[in-house]
């Protein structure tokens, strides 16, 4: 049976999501914890909505795992809770403190945490007054030394939205497309913080941090508002675009269609994206 997991983690002490020999990863910890409570050997494999890089955080991560029905139904033991509640309680007992599973529930077999997703929403936090940074937020907030013009950043960011070629902001992979639909990219000020919101159907590797790096020079006054769109139009990496530090980035939410539309959405997501007319 297929189970959906909604979870969160502090990415500071992880080498990213994906399991890697000899390294501490979110996937490694979560898979091992599932294997322990389900008494499964080998531990079950997970499919995640977003494979975050080392240092990136998540509040709204989603993964799915296929488990044996007998093992799932045995989770409550002699207690009254349903397997869903028992899974969350037992995972809390074996997971480290920087990973929390908030919900576990049985879903349709067509549900695919990665390919069924409609949107992924990230946030990025920057403090442009380092002396005012709350030291308790140093793990999820990047500091810059120059004051940022958030209005200019917002205008520049919004100019990048739509079904576009994002090769200028992606690490290329052989045979993979860099066409994506950027649904929202905006910036707002919250006191001494500048917070970005980035929403897309899917992202390329390091795309969000590069998108942030494209508009920070605009906020600092070193580039005109039109510059990020000009970089995007050239469709090649520009040395002026810095891939920003990972710890300011957080996966906030992943959305999905109704159960009836899961399979169709997965087929669409697996198709290679192209621009109109190509």
Residues identified as active-site: 53
Is residue 176 classed as helix, strand or coil in its secondary structure? Answer: coil
CA dist 19 and 29 (Å) reads: 9
Going from the C-alpha of 190 to that of each of 56, 137, 158, 195, 263, the distances in angstroms are 21, 14, 19, 7, 40
Q: What is the DSSP letter of 165?
A: E
CA dist 10 and 137 (Å) reads: 12
Contact 213, 237 (CB under 8 A): no
Is residue 37 classed as helix, strand or coil in its secondary structure? Answer: helix
Q: Is the peptide bond before 105 cis (omega within 30 degrees of 0)?
A: no
Is the sign of the CA dihedral 126, 129, 130, 135 positive or negative? negative
105: its two tokens: 């529930």
Q: Annotate 157-197 with DSSP letters as a single string.
A: HHTT-EEEE-GGGS---TT---EEEEEEEEEEEETTEEEEE
Going from the C-alpha of 106 to that of each of 72, 95, 119, 230, the distances in angstroms are 10, 20, 21, 46
List the Cα angle 20/180/7 in 5-degree steps. Answer: 45
């Amino acid at each position: 049976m297929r189970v959906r997991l909604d979870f969160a983690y502090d990415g500071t002490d992880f080498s990213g999501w994906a399991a890697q020999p000899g390294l501490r990863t979110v996937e490694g910890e979560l898979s091992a914890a599932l294997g322990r409570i389900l008494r499964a050997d080998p531990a079950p494999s997970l499919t995640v909505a977003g494979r975050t890089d080392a240092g990136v955080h998540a509040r709204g991560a989603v993964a799915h795992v296929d488990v044996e029905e007998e093992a799932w139904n045995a989770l409550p033991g002699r207690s009254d809770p349903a397997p869903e509640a028992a899974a969350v309680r037992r995972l809390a007992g074996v997971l480290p403190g920087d990973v929390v599973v908030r919900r576990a529930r049985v879903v349709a077999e067509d549900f695919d945490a990665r390919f069924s997703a409609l949107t992924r929403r990230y946030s990025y936090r920057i403090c442009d007054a380092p002396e005012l940074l709350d030291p308790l937020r140093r793990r999820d907030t990047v500091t810059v030394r120059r004051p940022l013009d958030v209005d200019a950043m917002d205008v520049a960011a919004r100019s990048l939205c739509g079904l576009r070629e994002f090769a200028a902001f992606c690490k290329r992979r052989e045979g993979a497309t860099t066409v994506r639909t950027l649904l929202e990219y905006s910036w707002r000020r919250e006191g001494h913080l500048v917070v970005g919101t980035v929403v897309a159907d899917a992202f390329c590797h390091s795309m969000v941090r590069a998108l942030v790096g494209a508009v920070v020079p605009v906020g600092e006054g070193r580039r005109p508002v039109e510059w990020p769109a000009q970089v995007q139009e050239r469709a090649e990496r520009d040395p002026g675009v810095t891939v920003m530090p990972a710890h300011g980035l957080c996966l906030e939410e992943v959305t999905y269609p109704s159960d009836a539309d899961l399979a169709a959405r997965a087929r669409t997501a697996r198709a290679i994206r192209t621009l109109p007319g190509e």
